[in-house]
Structure 1
Amino acid sequence: MMSFRPTRRDALKGFAATGGVAVMGTSGCSEEPEVIAEFHHGVASGDPEATAVIIWTRVTAPGEASVLWQVAKDEAFAEIVSKGEASAKASSDYTVKIDVRGLEPGQGYFYRFLSGRAVSPVGRTRTLAAKDATTLRLGVVSCSHYGFGFYNVYRELAKEQDLDAIVHLGDYIYEYGPDGYGGPEAKEIGREQEPPHEIVTLDDYRMRFSQYRRDADLQAAHAAAPFITIWDDHETANNSWSGGAQNHQPDTEGKWETRRDAALRAYFEWMPMRDPKPGEAFHRLHRTYEMGTLATLHLIETRLTARSGEVSYEDDMVYFETAYDVSDPQAPLVLNAEDAALLPAGRAERLKTPWRESDGAAITDYKQVREWADTGLPDGYVYKPDLARFREEVLGDPARELLGEAQLGWLAGELKASRANEVPWQILGNQVIMARMDAPDFTVAFPPEVIEPAIRDNPYTRQWVERTKLRLPINPGVWDGYPASRQRLYETVREAEASLVVLTGDSHQFWANDLRETPGGRRIGVEFGTSSVSSKGGYDYLAADPRAYDITEETLLRDVPEIVYCETRHRGFILLEITAEAVEADYRAVSTVRSRDYTSSSLKRLRVTREGPGELSDLVPV
């Protein structure tokens, strides 16, 4: 008696013809044992083009597994437009990515995978808009720490119909262990991260991605629409830059480049996006998405390519100084700045000026100032920050970079090409806040009964609040910490006459900002900043008293000129609707991420219109 075992090709033909499950093995006299495979991580699509899209899955199996894939115009898979087979291999952590080409612009599709007797969930995807498209709809998200809360935001996003894409602006995973950021909160709700330590190696990053991608709500969002993604810092390590990261210690964790490359290898394996071309560095990632004739979306990389190290307000601060003529060491003379500049090298010495706290008097006696410079100040004396010099010489150093010359040159060309093609909107997918945000003095904004409980037991919060008296940028790790680089970007935007809309993540709060080329000067664009999917907001640390949120928002709107709207208490996403005439941002929030029992709402809708080449209207409520 003879038995027939279908080949993979036969199975694919049968699967395509029936829309059913192709059996890759048979009972009885099979020549090869059946591979038991499962799709624990769902499906995803992303990196769309007008005629192509990436589809993704991961196979859980004892070893290498064969995978069949289908793309169809209908959910029943009666009209299949593309199909093929691939292998899930250990070298890519058993992930499978297919670059499906030859599709139609602006068309919705369904896709699925099978391996052995297992069939994946069905995903929906979409190619980029056709030239006759009149509307685009984008979801905008960022910052999805697994331990801080449930993914209610992803669940809500998955319910949205007819999304062209979901733009994820970074911090898709977080690297911390159980003792790090979010550890206590994760334990409270039973969402401790895997592996149970800070992730450093390739296996670590793969395991962390695997845990995140087993979440049903994240799987639903991925299955609902294609993702367009860029990383921020936590995909590698906190406050990463081109030469390292705040949360990377070479003495115990090895070379930064080794960790960075391991993290990015896992990122490319687990995200539905095209891999770098041969010879391209993983970390040099910037791309343009042409969305019909309505918009171009330009994703920039502001972390790993060219970013200078972050300025520290403690370690890098400059202080008022007194200059001395030390030609006669026995009788040094105090000099004014002009005279000090005229002295030859070796004759002038500058020392930080001590100030007596009781009466504010400056101490200029050389012998005393010199002694205290070596031994430290006694009680009752302080050094005063020279904020003007700090802004000019440290923050304003022209060498400080976020984009780098090569990436800025690329962006300049992309913006000009978009304008030459008469595309109405140039949208920048960006990780960190771009608007100018000097801190209001929160030491006087809050009544004592509101602020004191928040700072009593938290040294970091207390230090942060105290530092706002200096009225320096709220966060030196964003564009405010790199003003010369921001100015170069603004000049590029102005020269291209771009209608600039900036999309921003990272901050864990909602923002709408009016971007000005100079303080109070010409508008260069608008910024829509999304809150987080789950990560805790910075102002939550001030909110032992719930009135802190209202006071914070009122103070920011009053004292920070470029802020048009801010909301500091909710997690959520932005739904962006784009037409040739206007861009509207709908700020969507969930009531909580600490429970699966929640409600959702729209907090605010804002609209901007095009007034002329490179000119935009005010942001106005809809």
Structure 2
Amino acid sequence: MTDLRALPAETTSRRTVVKAAAASAALLPLAAAPSALAAGTAPVFRHGVASGDPLPDGVLLWTRVTPSGDALPGSGRGPDVTVHWEVAEDSAFSSVAARGTATATAAADHTVKADVRGLRPATGYFYRFATGGTYSPVGRTRTTAAHDAAADGVRFGVVSCANWESGWFSAYRHLAARADLDAVLHLGDYIYEYATGEYPGRDGAPRRHVPGHEITTLADYRARHGNYKTDADLQTLHAAHPVIAIWDDHEMANDAWSGGAENHTPGEEGDWAARTAAAKQAYFEWMPVRPSTAGTTYRRLRFGRLADLHLLDLRSFRSAQSSVGNGEVDDPDRTITGRAQLDWLKAGLAASDASWQLVGTSVMISPVAFGSVPARLLGPIGELLGIPEGGLAVNVDQWDGYTDDRRELLEHLRERGIDNTVFLTGDIHMAWANDVPVRAATYPLSGSAATEFVVTSVTSDNLDDILRVPPHTVSPVAVAAVRAANRHVKWLDMDSHGYGVLDVTAERAQMDYYAVSDKSDRAAGTRWLRSYRTPSGTRKVERADGPVR
């Protein structure tokens, strides 16, 4: 598997306060007026620009060209066109650091990627594309610290679960407005595959999916990705920061595993292998993820000697989800990672000399029992988690359904003395701060092997949405029951929508949780909810008094 850390780069220090202030000032117009960015997008570049997978000496650039009126995403129409790109140290492009050309073709849905190298570590850059005399919007990006640099800090926006029909992407707009982020980590469910009205399955959705039917073919997935990238807030996020992305299930189909999915019926929706191949091809065409990782999203990025980021693919290799109560969850022959990926992760964790090991995992690794939740809330929580009625003891779509992989990984952390491991998670539409216990039944006596920060959804439904009640009026009862039955869960929010900001220094890793005021309001504001941190060497989370400034 490609290890994106393994490329040489010269040594440099992290950005200084002066450089950060200068960058903030230069980028304020973009952050302050996201609507202007969308309004100024030329029709040729109607899907915006993006960057991703930053390295010390480079970054991946992305755009999509619409060369003719009929060359819509997924159409297979439109001529080949030559696209020019350039990267500069200033927004006026008077100091160009790199430039080149690429060809946009119908075979790749007229998407364009440029894997730019030769840049300076820990440096902010501006980039743009051009074709036929038309320029794209200007994006900004940032390279990472050199591999052996003693970086004093790194800061990520963290998001997951953005269903188009569930609300507006205000969380993206608020992250785009921050000039202090090194990158944004997207932990999956970037798109949803459902037909219009199927999920969340109620009237009053602010907008409709395109195409309107459930997506199953390459043309379908391309069209859905293309529709998502017409959103002004999503375009603003991509133009403002490099995005590091992994997929979860909805980039393919709900509760996907290596041989199928909960909502895939071969007789109705075709061959599963063909469907996943189409979904993955569209994903790699439309996302700023390096093509060297084609076929999977597990890979590794490095941020100086401060942090290694291990990104997992927990859909492509997993066994089918088991039924609760039949004992299969503990079967050592069942896997969520696949043998090759688990060995890769263990080897990377053991070999790393970084101060922190950050693991991007699309589903929660901490064990959670739901049996103590009041009966009237079991059904709604089961609906939220995608668990069949009567099967709510554990969520078998998470690591709880594959306990042998989890046991092996946590034992590896303990045996190798790998203290500063933090799992970063999405999927569950709730915010959590957890210790990851060695044995949940005997915690805290048995201690923890790592910690986990779970971010809530950008828009996808959580408990109050399903119950159609005001936030935090019913959920406190369920939260109290979950925490009472799971002593390693230090905080849980079942109702908010928003994002996280993870700040890592040598001394601690801290997640600041933010919520948007109303996902149905296109101009929603944001507020800080809580902050939790893991002090170095403790393998425990503790509450912080406020967000990192």
Q: Tell me the TM-score normalized by structure 1.
A: 0.75
For residues 226-305 of structure 1, what are the structure 2 equivalents within 5 Å? 226-276=242-292, 282-305=294-317
1:136 to 147, 154, 166: 154
Match of 1:152 in 2: 170
Match of 2:92 in 1: 76
Asked if 2 retains the 8 angstrom alpha-carbon contact of 1:606 and 1:620, the reply is: yes
Amino acid at match of 2:515: A
Q: Does the alignment pair 1:312 with 2:323?
A: yes
CA–CA separation in structure 1 for the residues paired with 2:461 and 2:132: 42
For residues 282-431 of structure 1, what are the structure 2 equivalents within 5 Å? 282-305=294-317, 307-313=318-324, 317=325, 390=326, 393-418=327-352, 421=353, 423-431=354-362
Amino acid at match of 2:65: V
Q: What displacement does 1:512 show?
A: 0.4
Q: Deviations over 1:257-297 (max 9, x none)?
A: 100000000000000111136xxxx4333111110111000
Q: Deviations over 1:330-372 (max 9, x none)?
A: xxxxxxxxxxxxxxxxxxxxxxxxxxxxxxxxxxxxxxxxxxx
Q: What displacement does 1:459 show?
A: 11
Q: Deviations over 1:436-461 (max 9, x none)?
A: 110143336x6xxxx69x97xx9968
Asked if 2 retains the 8 angstrom alpha-carbon contact of 1:37 and 1:65, the reply is: no
Q: What displacement does 1:159 show?
A: 0.8
CA–CA separation in structure 2 for the residues paired with 1:88 and 1:466: 48
Determine helix, strand or coil for the equivalent of 2:54.
Answer: coil
Q: RMSD of the alignment, in Å?
A: 2.3
CA–CA separation in structure 1 for the residues paired with 2:540 and 2:257: 35
Q: Does the alignment pair 1:594 with 2:525?
A: no
For residues 167-206 of structure 1, what are the structure 2 equivalents within 5 Å? 167-185=185-203, 188-206=204-222
CA–CA separation in structure 1 for the residues paired with 2:387 and 2:218: 35
Match of 1:113 in 2: 129
Match of 1:561 in 2: 487
Q: Deviations over 1:182-201 (max 9, x none)?
A: 3535xx24410011100000
Asked if 2 retains the 8 angstrom alpha-carbon contact of 1:51 and 1:127, the reply is: yes
- Seen in structure 2, the aligned counterparts of structure 1 residues 395 and 132 have a Cα distance that, compared at 3 Å, is closer
Match of 1:49 in 2: 55
Amino acid at match of 2:321: E
Determine helix, strand or coil for the equivalent of 1:102.
Answer: coil
Q: Deviations over 1:162-203 (max 9, x none)?
A: 311111010000000024213535xx2441001110000000
Q: Deviations over 1:24-46 (max 9, x none)?
A: xxxxxxxxxxxx96100010000
Q: Deviations over 1:502-550 (max 9, x none)?
A: 0000001100011011121221010000001111114532454752122
- Seen in structure 2, the aligned counterparts of structure 1 residues 168 and 158 have a Cα distance that, compared at 3 Å, is same
Match of 2:235 in 1: 219
Q: What displacement does 1:621 show?
A: 2.3
Instruction: Out of 257-266 and 534-543, give the one that drifted further.
Output: 534-543
Amino acid at match of 1:395: V
Match of 2:415 in 1: 495
Asked if 2 retains the 8 angstrom alpha-carbon contact of 1:432 and 1:505, the reply is: yes
Asked if 2 retains the 8 angstrom alpha-carbon contact of 1:513 and 1:564, the reply is: yes
Amino acid at match of 1:492: H
Q: Deviations over 1:287-316 (max 9, x none)?
A: 1111011100000111112x1111234xxx
2:367 to 423, 436, 440: 436
Q: Tell me the TM-score normalized by structure 2.
A: 0.84
Structure number with the bigger relative contact order (C-alpha 8 A, sep ≥ 6) is 2
Determine helix, strand or coil for the equivalent of 2:480.
Answer: helix
Match of 1:355 in 2: none
Asked if 2 retains the 8 angstrom alpha-carbon contact of 1:73 and 1:81, the reply is: yes
Q: What displacement does 1:466 show?
A: 7.5
- Seen in structure 2, the aligned counterparts of structure 1 residues 507 and 539 have a Cα distance that, compared at 3 Å, is farther
- Seen in structure 2, the aligned counterparts of structure 1 residues 545 and 60 have a Cα distance that, compared at 3 Å, is closer
- Seen in structure 2, the aligned counterparts of structure 1 residues 113 and 183 have a Cα distance that, compared at 3 Å, is farther
Match of 2:434 in 1: 513
- Seen in structure 2, the aligned counterparts of structure 1 residues 157 and 269 have a Cα distance that, compared at 3 Å, is same
Q: Does the alignment pair 1:571 with 2:502?
A: no
Amino acid at match of 1:572: G
CA–CA separation in structure 2 for the residues paired with 1:54 and 1:41: 17
Asked if 2 retains the 8 angstrom alpha-carbon contact of 1:202 and 1:263, the reply is: yes
Q: What displacement does 1:52 show?
A: 1.1
Asked if 2 retains the 8 angstrom alpha-carbon contact of 1:86 and 1:96, the reply is: yes
For residues 505-544 of structure 1, what are the structure 2 equivalents within 5 Å? 505-519=426-440, 520=443, 521-538=446-463, 540-542=465-467, 544=469
Asked if 1 retains the 8 angstrom alpha-carbon contact of 2:50 and 2:239, the reply is: yes
Q: Deviations over 1:53-78 (max 9, x none)?
A: 00010111122221111100011111
Identify unmatched segments of 5+ residues in structure 1. 1-35, 318-389
Amino acid at match of 1:558: A
Amino acid at match of 1:184: R
Asked if 2 retains the 8 angstrom alpha-carbon contact of 1:577 and 1:583, the reply is: yes
CA–CA separation in structure 1 for the residues paired with 2:475 and 2:382: 20
Match of 1:607 in 2: 533
Match of 1:94 in 2: 110
Q: Does the alignment pair 1:484 with 2:387?
A: no
Amino acid at match of 1:443: P
Instruction: Out of 580-589 and 559-568, give the one that drifted further.
Output: 559-568
- Seen in structure 2, the aligned counterparts of structure 1 residues 618 and 86 have a Cα distance that, compared at 3 Å, is closer
CA–CA separation in structure 1 for the residues paired with 2:361 and 2:162: 16
Identify unmatched segments of 5+ residues in structure 2. 1-41, 69-78
Amino acid at match of 1:157: L
Determine helix, strand or coil for the equivalent of 2:344.
Answer: helix
Asked if 1 retains the 8 angstrom alpha-carbon contact of 2:183 and 2:242, the reply is: yes
- Seen in structure 2, the aligned counterparts of structure 1 residues 580 and 543 have a Cα distance that, compared at 3 Å, is same
Give the number of the structure whose alpha-carbon radius of gyration is greater.
1
CA–CA separation in structure 2 for the residues paired with 1:478 and 1:247: 17
1:124 to 135, 140, 146: 140
Match of 1:342 in 2: none
Aligned length: 486
Q: Deviations over 1:478-509 (max 9, x none)?
A: 01111111101112222332211000000011
Determine helix, strand or coil for the equivalent of 2:45.
Answer: coil
CA–CA separation in structure 1 for the residues paired with 2:306 and 2:216: 42
